[in-house]
Amino acid sequence: DGIDVVFAATWPKAIHEGNGTAQLFISKHATQPQRDAVIKIFSGQAKGNGPFAIFAASIKYVLEPQFVDIKKKIDGKRSSFSVPGVLDVQIESFKNPVTGEEQDTKLQLPKGFVFQLADACKSKLMKISTPSLNYDDSGKNAFYAKVEYKGP
């Protein structure tokens, strides 16, 4: 319904090994019914074809959702989003190290549960700083995909 949401999570090892920590940042403009629905979706309680029930099973620590101002710029491999003072994410294309030319790199996963086709890119900036989630994954692999999940 046009509500911006950021799902921030970290795991000490591989995701399937569990013990993850997650926090939702939900637009402060969301109504109470929208907030309740978003929390239900991301906690894996809403049925459907999205990855959230799988991720929820690997999360040990669920932090209280925050209702915040979310800034975003959707521009494919040049997209960015932020929660001012808390997290910043900017992605960019891989570049040819000799020519500097932008590379058109894609990842196709026909049976992928998060996405089936994505632009592979890197995080120009990816930092989060909260009392319980604090990491910097700048310069690491990232993906940009348009996805649509459906409920039952």
pLDDT score for 150 = 81
Q: Which single residue is written with the structure tokens 């939702």?
A: 24
Dihedral sign from CA coordinates of 6, 12, 16, 18: negative
pLDDT score for 151 = 74
94-147 per-position pLDDT tens digit: 999 999 999 999 999 999 999 999 999 999 999 999 999 999 999 999 999 999
pTM for the predicted model, two decimal places: 0.91
48-90 per-position pLDDT tens digit: 788 998 999 999 999 999 999 999 999 999 999 999 999 999 9
> In terms of Cα–Cα distance, which of 95, 87, 70, 100 is closest to 3?
70
Tell me how far apart the alpha carbons of residues 17 and 12 are, in angstroms, rounded to a whole number: 9
119-130 per-position pLDDT tens digit: 999 999 999 999
H or E segment at 82?
A: strand 80-83
